[in-house]
Amino acid sequence: MKTTLQLPYQLKGFLELGDAVIITDSHHIILEVNDTYQTITGFERNKIIGLKAGFIKSNLTDQSTYTSMKTSLKQLIPWSGIFINRKKSGELWHSSITITPFQIGEDLFFIGIFRALEQLEEGLYLSENKKIEVQRELLKVLAISCEIRDPGTEEHLIRVQELTEVLIKAHNKKNNLQLEPNYINNVIHSSILHDIGKAGMPEGILYKPGALTSYERKIIEMHPLIGADILNKMSKEINYDFIKSMEVAENIILYHHEKWDGTGYPFNLKGEEIPLEARIVSIVDVFDALTTRRPYKDSWSKEKALTFIDENKGKHFDPSIAETFISLF
């Protein structure tokens, strides 16, 4: 679709900007681009004028971004967002764009100004969803690598993570806690790390088929402290914002064996002295341990495990969280 509309002189100044600039008519047909746009994209001006501005779409930009853009521009409101487009070479082009409507006489124009995110001082741009995905996968790799000696442990860790997600979201909704989404994601992701301290446990004790002696029990009860030490040593070497804050993970590792009545370990914390994230993971961890066969025990039925949790609310478990958990089944 070629256009016969000429570019008004009032808009030509935008083409001198250092960022990539594209100017379209009201139907988003390209009227002009500047040299920077040609340099970055590899598309020559005389071959793209008259094309729809979206010809460089990669189909990787979330559809909600386009919906938001169209809604704003229909109301003649400037819009800013992130696009993932393709250059002529096929290479992806991540860019922040601001599109501003301009009414000149009876004609409407749109000025798009692109800033290539790859060229920003911070270097790499990650969307919020991508940050969450990267965080989740990095913590998963860390957790599994710490427990590589037992192939069955990986399945336990993933089940704990999945059930933690269900429980924290249900408990937040049921009690109108208004927990921040970032906190909820942090708890879900960090739950997979709860037992990393067992990497420091002797295998003869960790997988002993019979009952532990009091001495062996004391060694096992050191694993939250060992886990926190592993986490702290690792986090000192990490500079990325999306995995730098480890407070929630540390709380889960240190306190998921504390009990509501103060008889847990390693610090004998009681009630709400125990961080919420640890109280949530505690129930999930015990439930999965009870319903899974281990070298030293047979698996329990779901019904028997839920009865145990019900009988121990107010003793081992936070009663409110325990009630939420039971209601899930």
Question: 137-164: b or e for each residue (b if 16 or more CB lie within 10 Å)?
Answer: eebbebbbebbeeeeebeebbebbbebb
Task: Please give the Cα distance from 116 to 96 (Å, whole number).
Answer: 6
The structure tokens listed for 257 are 């064996």
The structure tokens listed for 129 are 């969803």
Task: Please give the Cα distance from 285 to 289 (Å, whole number).
Answer: 6
Residue in 70, 174, 198, 236 annotated catalytic: 198
Residue 88 has, within 13 A of its CA and on its CB side, a CA count of 11
Residue 163 carries which side chain, given as an amino acid letter?
Answer: L
State yes or no: is 198 an active-site residue.
yes
φ/ψ of 186, rounded to 5, equals -65, -40
The structure tokens listed for 65 are 């971004």
Which pairing describes strands 30-33 and 20-25: parallel, antiparallel, or unpaired?
Answer: antiparallel
Task: Please give the Cα distance from 230 to 76 (Å, whole number).
Answer: 54
Q: How far is CA 239 from CA 45, 134, 235, 236, 316, in A?
A: 42, 14, 8, 8, 37
Active-site residue list: 198
